[in-house]
Amino acid sequence: MEVVKAVARQGSAASTSIAVRADRKSYSYGELLLSAQKISNLLCASDSRSTLNGTEAVGSRDGTRVGIVAKPSPEFVAGVLGTWLSGRVAVPLALSYPEAELLHVMSDSDVSIVLSTEDHQELMQTVASKSAAQFSVIPSVPSTTDDSLSEAGGLGESTQKAVDVPVKVEGEDAALILYTSGTTGKPKGVVHTHRSVSAQVEFMPKFSVSGIWQRWRESYPEDATKADSAVTVFTGVPTMYTRLIQGYEAMEPDVQAISASAASKLRLMMCGSSALPYPVMQQWETITGHRLLERYVGVRASARIQRCLIIVIAMQFVMALSNPLRGLRKGGTVGKPLPGVEVKILAEDGSGNETKGVGELCIRSPSLFREYWKLPEASISNGSAALSFCKTSCVGLLYYLMTRGCSLL
């Protein structure tokens, strides 16, 4: 609930401040919280109750699961916040899922009610009926250009009361279940707690080569001004930078010059997931002037990424290793553990012994997921918060620098 409380504090202090920008519209903290309160009230009134180990689950550990279907939007954010306000667990359902996969995820997570925006209402009503789940439409969040907020009189006392003590929720209670892509078997539900969620924020829109270059050009026009909503930080994975370079090379020379100039004005550019091939790093630095800050984030991080206020999540943990923001950035490595993060490398022989050579990278982090949903064997074999370290399935090697400790390749 720390994320909800943080949003509520901001909403109380400055309810008209912008929390989300989407589709060229702006949405304030007050609007977002009022919408989340409506959703919480809707869920509490729905009599959506499930049973866990023979006890009523509403408002207790591992509360009722709520499926959420929405594109990257303020409605998605309000849906998650409203779910947490009601003491329930959010289960984002990917818009790309075919019906069979939606039914698998809903059945596996025991979703008892589905929240969907109007544009997916027909499909999700059908899917919900097949899984014996209830269905409700997510109310639209009014933008700052609408009259709804001024008529509602700002944040409102009822929202403040609800945010203060909605239900008793502890930091280790489940908050979110994200499903893996299923590349190694059926998709598994990765359970994040309120504590691990509060350690994570993502802020990147859906990846589009032309869209990203265009966004940078809009942020820093040719007249040397800076747009009010300018992008200042960008993060991606190695494949994204390779594709951005390909997109740049396909531009006309005059567009290349404008694009490179705009990109050079960002404050910081980062690369995560795995070490970036050194030739790609050099080429990107030649084009934009940025020497990428390389980092390492949780594997299978195909999470729901929204350009919104609260956006989660790396599947198993958030950023764990990083090159320095200021200082030598060693190309081809993902850096050292960040504060609060521990790493070890297990020998490849399966003995479970640590090694300073090549082996499997294991991470311990405050943002580590709690468990795989209803899969204790997978939780044990892959590692989770309950077992302290997470086995990443990535091969690591400690790279020693004479006077600077060690980095990870």
Domain membership of residue 186 (yes or no) is: no
Q: At 311, is the pLDDT very low, low, confident or very high (cuts 50, 70, 90)? A: very low
Question: Among positive and negative, which fits the CA dihedral 218, 141, 2, 19?
Answer: positive
pLDDT grade, residue 196 (50/70/90)? confident
Q: Is residue 324 part of a domain?
A: yes
Q: What's 329's domain CATH number?
A: 3.40.50.12780
Edge-first strand listing for the sheet containing 233-236: 233-236, 268-271, 293-296, 321-322, 336-337
Q: How far is CA 158 from CA 12, 46, 152, in A?
A: 12, 19, 11
Q: What is the rounded CA–CA span in Å between residue 329 and residue 211?
A: 28
Contacts of 403 (CB under 8 A, 6+ apart): none
Domain end: 169, 188, 218, which one?
A: 169
Do both 240 and 140 map to the same domain? no
| Co-location of 150 and 236 in the same domain | no
Quick one: 287 and 341 in the same domain? yes
pLDDT tens, residue by residue, 319-338: 677 777 777 777 777 777 77
Task: State how many domains the chain has.
Answer: 2
pLDDT tens per residue, range 21-50: 888 888 888 888 899 989 988 888 875 444
CATH of the domain at 144: 3.40.50.980
Instruction: Flag whether pLDDT at 132 surpasses 60.
Output: yes
Q: Which residue has the higher pLDDT, 186 or 309?
A: 186
Domain contains 183: no
Tell whether the model's pLDDT for residue 216 goes beyond 90. yes
pLDDT at residue 14 tops 60: yes
Do 8 and 80 belong together in one domain?
yes
Choose the final residue of a domain: 118, 144, 169: 169
Q: Which of 143, 169, 195 is the last residue of a domain?
A: 169
Rounded distance between C-alpha atoms, residue 65 and residue 74, angstroms: 20
Is the domain of 276 the same as that of 136? no
CA pair distance 85, 39, nearest whole angstrom: 9
Domain that holds residue 127: 2-169
Q: Does 188 reside within a domain?
A: no
116 and 219 assigned to the same domain: no
Give the model's pLDDT for residue 51: 41
Any domain includes 139: yes
Does residue 228 share a domain with residue 107? no
Do 245 and 164 share a structural domain?
A: no
Per-residue pLDDT of 74-85, as tens digits, reads 999 999 999 998
User: What's the rounded Cα separation, in Å, for the pair 195 and 171?
Assistant: 5
State the average pLDDT for the chain: 76
pLDDT digits (tens, 9 = 90+) for 353-383: 777 777 877 777 776 777 777 877 665 555 5
Q: What is the pLDDT of residue 392?
A: 66
More confident residue, 248 or 393: 248
Residues contacting 394, CB < 8 A, separation 6+: 274, 299, 360, 361
Can you tell me which residue has the tokens 């403040």?
160
